[in-house]
Amino acid sequence: MVQVSVPSDHDIYLFHEGNLFHSYKMLGAHIVEEKERKGVRFSVWAPHAKRVSVVGNFNHWNGNSHPMKPVEQSGVWTLFIPELQEGELYKYEIHTPHGEVTLKADPYAFYSELRPNTASVVCSLEGYEWNDSKWFAKKKKEDIYHQPMLVYEVHLGSWKKKPDGEFYTYRELADELVDYAADLGYTHIEILPILEHPFDRSWGYQVTGFYSVTSRYGTPQDFMYFVDKCHEKEIGVILDWVPAHFCKDAHGLGKFDGTPLYEPTDERIAERVNWGTYSFDYSKPEVVSFLISNALFWMDVYHIDGLRVDAVSSMIYLNHEANNQYVVKNKFGGFENLEAIEFIKNLNKAVFAEHPHSLMIAEESTAWPNVSAPTDIGGLGFNYKWNMGWMNDMLRYMETDTIHRGSHHNLVTFSFLYAFSENYILPFSHDEVVHGKRSLLNKMPGDYWQKFANLRALYGYMMAHPGKKLLFMGGEFGQFDEWKDLTELDWMLFDYDMHKKMFDYVKELNAFYKETRSLWRLDHEPEGFEWINPDDHSQNVVTFIRRGKRKGDYCVVVCNFSPQVYYDYRIGVPTQGFYEEVFNSDAERFGGSGQLNEGKIKVEKEPYNNQPYSASVKIPPLAVTILKKVTKTSKKRTRKEST
């Protein structure tokens, strides 16, 4: 049993300085032993409250039974209640400066009642026996920047459902989802927020319990089991994390002690009009302690491998949600949120100090510089950023009818001008397949066959483009309808040949990507990419080289976004000899037309496309073809495979 007493002066000092990075150990409800008596120590920050009590079933929700004591003038209230045990429901009864009495859930609660109920639950997070020491030893040896990364983004509540419509539990998902992702070759699973939230259809992005894993799918120990199983299969776990805002539900953080506490007092920057939420006030050190502690909490307690930080743009710009209703400026007359920027830098410094091999991924949609650069050279300190520009350009291009793509050719090539300005992840996320935007497959123009061919070409181009990769669930088998968050994915589509072939294509493409070092070894360095021909807009073709670290480790990528077959298409190549086709998205086993380059491709001593040599190849329609030079090693491999 942990021995805990009243929050220490030192911890309270650090909390008020914004430097108590494990504040969840001081605040909240902890099962402890004090003066040889077992019970629960409750502590809460409510500096403007006139009175605070702990209420629950154990005292019939009577606020007169267990009043809390203020810790000097710290704004922290605390109380030890003997004999209380795990599983007790509780809230804080807060008497506000305005004479109101409110019931609030614990901001630091480790567990919560199943919605629509809103009480916090006394819960111990100790006792789970982890089995992932090999996983963390492996992580320490690897350099993620020079490793393949394939992220499968998942909303747990709608990946798969039981026949009666009920959710799968964390443990059931550990046995099904984890094996499914591993079989497809994914290196990471990214989970939409599972911090406790009252409304299913917010998908977890409007939070009431930042320290409470949602009870929709089970207990904290159940979620630990899920993460453990991911690590057993050598899959990292990334959690969507929401430090930009919180929902206004009465039991949540909003006006917690009767005053704007976690949110700014200035309503112009407190209100998130578009989302109906409150922003966090990053100028308050206690809020900074709360948020940085929360990021570390998910890594410390649940062994999460990284956080995808939601809505970073809305944090760093003061007027991001203003809709031109007003203009707020900082003390220097600019539009940057200086306190939010400082918070982000401190957040990343704290995370990497304690978890140096973690992932901190920014969803940042503007041209803010150095998002993934270290803080000591002026960056925000993330180690990855979603490439939203690439995603928007490519989807706009792919939605264009093929006969008009030539006039939009720059949408394919522009991203290479900035591909190495940040450490990028290329995302096709849930945001692209909801709210009438249509599924990826249904965005594609053309007839039934062309839709699948276009999507295969898009995925192939994505794999060849510099940057790590992310795909939202359902994209792997060509979900025809956009994401329906109230039902499961359309698994019945596996009964249809083209959808099953799309699944097989993604699985084989993932495997090919992982075994082809030149496609990821220099993802973030200009030396890993070289144009062959970016300018063939009349035929909707781009050709380029991806290079690995070792001399001679490269592949030639040919992308044809036209429905035409080009039988004698000349491309420049860097060395003489012979090439072979090692991947073709038009293969018949994937549902393609089978326009392949069979056998060796002879190189001619004819300079072309600024390359010293060239070769004539067949380019299949709406397809990506990847070539490699024939070497002694590849000859041995080819003979072995044919045998």
DSSP secondary structure letters along 54-98: EEEGGGTT-TTTSB-EE-TTSSEEEEEEET--TT-EEEEEEE-TT
Alpha-carbon gap, residue 269 to 234, rounded angstroms:
42
Contact predicate 251/94, CB 8 Å: no
Alpha-carbon gap, residue 478 to 442, rounded angstroms:
9
Alpha-carbon gap, residue 4 to 14, rounded angstroms:
18
User: Is the domain of 622 the same as that of 542?
Assistant: yes
Alpha-carbon gap, residue 388 to 130, rounded angstroms:
36
DSSP state of 315: H
Amino acid at residue number 497: D
Q: ∠ at Cα 191 (188, 194), nearest 5°?
A: 150
**Residue 458: CATH number of its domain:** 3.20.20.80
Alpha-carbon gap, residue 74 to 633, rounded angstroms:
69
User: Is the domain of 169 the same as that of 289?
Assistant: yes
User: Is the domain of 480 the same as that of 558?
Assistant: no
**Would you say residue 264 lies in a domain?**
no
Length of the chain, in residues: 643
Alpha-carbon gap, residue 348 to 90, rounded angstroms:
33
The runs of H, that is alpha helices, within 163-263 are: 170-184, 220-232
pLDDT at 136 over 60: yes
Q: Which two tokens stand for residue 354?
A: 């304690």
Q: What is 21-62 written as a DSSP string?
A: TTGGGTSEEEEEEETTEEEEEEEEE-TT-SEEEEEEGGGTT-
User: Is the domain of 395 the same as that of 484?
Assistant: yes
Predicted local confidence at residue 320, as pLDDT: 80
**Residue 581: CATH number of its domain:** 2.60.40.1180
Q: What percentage of the chain carries pLDDT values higher than 90?
A: 94
Smallest CA-to-CA distance from 15 within 26, 6, 5 is with 26
Domain that holds residue 631: 527-642
**Would you say residue 301 lies in a domain?**
yes
CB atoms within 10 A of CB 98: 10
**Would you say residue 219 lies in a domain?**
yes
What would the mean pLDDT of 52-65 be, rounded to a whole number? 97
Per DSSP, the three-state class of 496 is coil
**Would you say residue 240 lies in a domain?**
no
Predicted local confidence at residue 641, as pLDDT: 42
- Look over the chain and give the mean of its residue pLDDT values, rounded to a whole number: 95
Last residue of a domain, which of 494, 516, 538? 516
Element (H, E) at 104: strand 101-104
Taking the CA atoms of 205, 209, 215 and 219 in sequence, report the sign of the dihedral they define.
Answer: positive
Predicted local confidence at residue 631, as pLDDT: 85
Residues annotated as catalytic (active site), given as ranges: 310, 363
Q: Is 145 exposed, middle or buried (0-12, 13-18, 19+ CB in 10 A)?
A: middle
User: Is the domain of 66 the same as that of 184?
Assistant: no
Predicted local confidence at residue 1, as pLDDT: 39
User: Is the domain of 112 the same as that of 212?
Assistant: no
Which region among 56-70, 309-323, 578-592 has the lowest average model confidence (pLDDT)?
Answer: 309-323
**Would you say residue 455 lies in a domain?**
yes
Q: What is the pLDDT of residues 351-398, one digit of tens each?
A: 999 999 999 999 999 999 999 999 999 999 999 999 999 999 999 999
Alpha-carbon gap, residue 133 to 66, rounded angstroms:
43
pLDDT-derived band at 322, boundaries 50, 70, 90: low
**Residue 424 bridge partners (DSSP):** 385
Q: Which two tokens stand for residue 281?
A: 């006030």
Last residue of a domain, which of 516, 542, 565? 516
Place of tokens 């207990």: 219
Q: Which two tokens stand for residue 103?
A: 């019931």
Backbone angles phi, psi at 243, to 5 degrees: -90, 10
User: Is the domain of 434 the same as that of 532?
Assistant: no
Alpha-carbon gap, residue 103 to 359, rounded angstroms:
37
Place of tokens 């994209």: 475
Alpha-carbon gap, residue 138 to 272, rounded angstroms:
42
Q: What is the pLDDT of residues 423-450, one digit of tens each?
A: 999 999 999 999 999 999 999 999 999 9
**Would you say residue 390 lies in a domain?**
yes
CB atoms within 10 A of CB 411: 18
What's the number of domains the chain is made of? Answer: 3
Smallest CA-to-CA distance from 309 within 284, 336, 267, 280 is with 280
**Residue 78: CATH number of its domain:** 2.60.40.10
Last residue of a domain, which of 516, 549, 584? 516
Encode 520-541: b = buried (16+ Cβ within 10 Å), e = exposed. bbbbbeeebbebbbbebbebbb
**Residue 80 bridge partners (DSSP):** 41
Alpha-carbon gap, residue 511 to 488, rounded angstroms:
26
User: Is the domain of 538 the same as that of 625?
Assistant: yes
Per DSSP, the three-state class of 146 is helix
Predicted local confidence at residue 274, as pLDDT: 87
pLDDT at 2 over 90: no
Strand 613-619 and strand 566-573: the pairing is antiparallel
Q: What is 586-633 written as a DSSP string?
A: T-GGGTS------S-EE-BS--BTTBSEEEEEEE-TTEEEEEEE--HH
Q: What is the pLDDT of residues 169-219, one digit of tens each?
A: 999 999 999 999 999 999 999 999 999 999 999 999 999 999 999 999 999
User: Is the domain of 442 the same as that of 555?
Assistant: no
pLDDT at 101 over 60: yes
Per DSSP, the three-state class of 291 is helix
**Would you say residue 131 lies in a domain?**
no
Smallest CA-to-CA distance from 468 within 206, 108, 146 is with 146
Amino acid at residue number 377: I
Contact predicate 68/104, CB 8 Å: no
Alpha-carbon gap, residue 4 to 79, rounded angstroms:
12
pLDDT at 116 over 50: yes
User: Is the domain of 349 the same as that of 492?
Assistant: yes
Predicted local confidence at residue 5, as pLDDT: 61
pLDDT-derived band at 638, boundaries 50, 70, 90: very low
CB atoms within 10 A of CB 229: 22
User: Is the domain of 396 the same as that of 358?
Assistant: yes
User: Is the domain of 394 the same as that of 510?
Assistant: yes
Alpha-carbon gap, residue 150 to 515, rounded angstroms:
12
Contact predicate 339/351, CB 8 Å: no
**Would you say residue 548 lies in a domain?**
yes
Predicted local confidence at residue 319, as pLDDT: 86
Strand 424-428 and strand 384-386: the pairing is parallel
Contact predicate 291/275, CB 8 Å: no
pLDDT at 324 over 80: no
pLDDT-derived band at 583, boundaries 50, 70, 90: very high
pLDDT at 521 over 80: yes
